[in-house]
Amino acid sequence: MSPAGETVVVADVGNTRIKLAVVGAGITATRLPEVTLRQDLLSREFRPANLQQWLDRAAAGTVVVLVASVHDRAAVGLEAAIAEVAATGHRAVRQRRVTREHLPIPVEVDEPNRVGIDRVAAAAAVAVAKDADRPAVVVDCGTATTVDLVSADGRFLGGAILPGPGLLARALAEGTSRLPAVADLDSGALPAMPGRNTQQAIAAGIGFGMRGAVGRLVAEATAAIGGEPQVFLTGGSRGIVRDVVPGATEIPDLVLHGIALAVGRLQSPS
């Protein structure tokens, strides 16, 4: 556990953004840790000053930053920034890299070490949040969209990965000579159909395509795991599929909650 008086910060280093948050006190194995004061920073534009400014607002005194990453270059930049802040001597700041072994969930797939830490963290959070006797399906809509399964007894069983809406839009813009880039695809509003211009046509293809894909994947996951699984929805693009997972429990920062669960296994300072 973190030393008394030390503020715990979690960092989810994704393909597009670095997400930071402060973890509330009183972490237990039976409820999700509280995460507050979330800050999103673009991974490609991150600077040490960004971290210093946010820490000045979010945390007084000593800090430990738990870093979980699926983007190696961005994680190295964040860790260098943490070291730079610590070197100023204005405050005590230490850091730990969170790995699969630090998260309280068994990973039962062919290659456990190749599963993204974000998927494992989200599943670990769901294993705590779900009903004890029910399996779960975890839908995380970000740069990539994942649909994963958690058994009734809290094991990560794998799932499916597909491109998120922003990645699909970039693939069309970069992989063709005339199709334009289309932004603002994360809204839950239904796109126009038929699209009356190229932008609308792309928005319709991606919007309805994502809905169809996620709806089918959730149905397949439900059939595969059996019973009546709870469905959890998270990720910055979750609005685009909200209407195809009615009744889902929506937790915007599921990955950050999951990273915070690593505190209990990261007892020794580094």
Percent of the chain with pLDDT strictly greater than 70 = 96
pLDDT at 4: 58
Asked whether residue 3 carries a pLDDT value surpassing 80, the answer given is: no
Q: How far is CA 60 from CA 54, 93, 118, in A?
A: 11, 11, 28
pTM of the shown model: 0.91
Asked whether residue 51 carries a pLDDT value surpassing 90, the answer given is: no
Residue of 40, 110, 118, 153 with catalytic role: 118
> 57-88: per-residue pLDDT in tens?
988 889 999 999 998 888 998 999 899 988 88
- Beta carbons within 10 angstroms of residue 93's beta carbon: 24
Per CATH, 7-100+258-265 and 106-256 having the same topology is answered yes
> 238-250: per-residue pLDDT in tens?
999 999 999 999 9
Which region among 13-17, 63-67, 168-172, 206-210 has the lowest average model confidence (pLDDT)?
A: 13-17
Decide which of 3.30.420.40, 3.50.50.60, 3.40.50.620, 1.10.357.10 is the CATH code for 7-100+258-265: 3.30.420.40
Confidence of residue 90 (pLDDT cuts 50, 70, 90): confident
pLDDT at 24: 87
Alpha-carbon dihedral angle through residues 225, 231, 235, 241, given to the nearest 10 degrees: 100
pLDDT at 1: 47
Average pLDDT over residues 200-229: 96
Percent of the chain with pLDDT strictly greater than 90 = 70
pLDDT at 270: 47
pLDDT at 268: 47
Q: What rounded mean pLDDT belongs to the chain? A: 91
Single out the residue of 60, 10, 5 nearest to residue 32, CA to CA: 10
Q: Where are the beta strands (DSSP E) in 6-62?
A: 7-13, 17-23, 35-42
> 7-37: per-residue pLDDT in tens?
999 999 988 899 999 998 766 667 898 999 9
Asked whether residue 205 carries a pLDDT value surpassing 70, the answer given is: yes
pLDDT at 201: 96
Average pLDDT over residues 83-97: 87
Q: Where are the alpha helices (DSSP H) in the chain?
A: 48-58, 72-87, 117-129, 165-175, 198-225, 254-260
CA distance 230 to 244: 14
Task: Give the 3-state secondary structure of residue 213.
Answer: helix
Tokens describing residue 162: 């597909």
Asked whether residue 179 carries a pLDDT value surpassing 80, the answer given is: yes
178-191: burial string, b at 16+ Cβ within 10 Å, e else: ebeebeebbeeeeb
Task: Tell me which of 185 and 231 has the higher pLDDT.
Answer: 231
Kindly list the domain boundaries of the chain, sorted by start residue.
7-100+258-265, 106-256
Confidence of residue 170 (pLDDT cuts 50, 70, 90): very high
pLDDT at 29: 66
Single out the residue of 35, 43, 38, 36 nearest to residue 18, CA to CA: 43
Task: Give the 3-state secondary structure of residue 13.
Answer: strand
Please confirm, yes or no, whether 118 is among the known catalytic residues. Answer: yes
Domain 106-256, CATH class in plain words: alpha beta
